Amino acid sequence: MCLLGSTAKSMTDLTQFESRFTDACRARRLSPQQVAVQAGLPAEAGRDLAATAIHLPLYRLCYVADALNVSLDWLLAREPSAQEKKRA
């Protein structure tokens, strides 16, 4: 069962996707365009990838997560970030 956008704490928080995508790009020193190409998308798609990737098919989101070397659950805020774990 997939409950995207639910407000329940354990469900996906789509509001965090853009910041997590941006943070992961910065941490890996990859541009959004480079991530787009590695995910099999045109480089031009990288300009808006942080804001529009959530509309991609699931398999493409998996490629984006792979290109960033993060889990899809982390990228979609289905698991806490390292900072959130430290606070707990």
pLDDT in tens, 21-72: 999 999 999 999 999 999 999 999 998 988 888 788 999 999 999 999 999 9
Question: Chain centroid to CA 76: how far?
Answer: 5
Q: What is the spatial distance between Cα 80 and Cα 32, in angstroms, rounded to a whole number? A: 23
Task: Give residue 78's pLDDT band: very low, low, confident or very high (50, 70, 90).
Answer: confident
Task: Give residue 6's pLDDT band: very low, low, confident or very high (50, 70, 90).
Answer: very low
| Three-state secondary structure of 38-73 | HCCCCHHHHHHHHHHHHHCCHHHHHHHHHHHCCCHH
Which structural domains are found in the chain, ordered by start?
A: 14-79 (1.10.260.40)
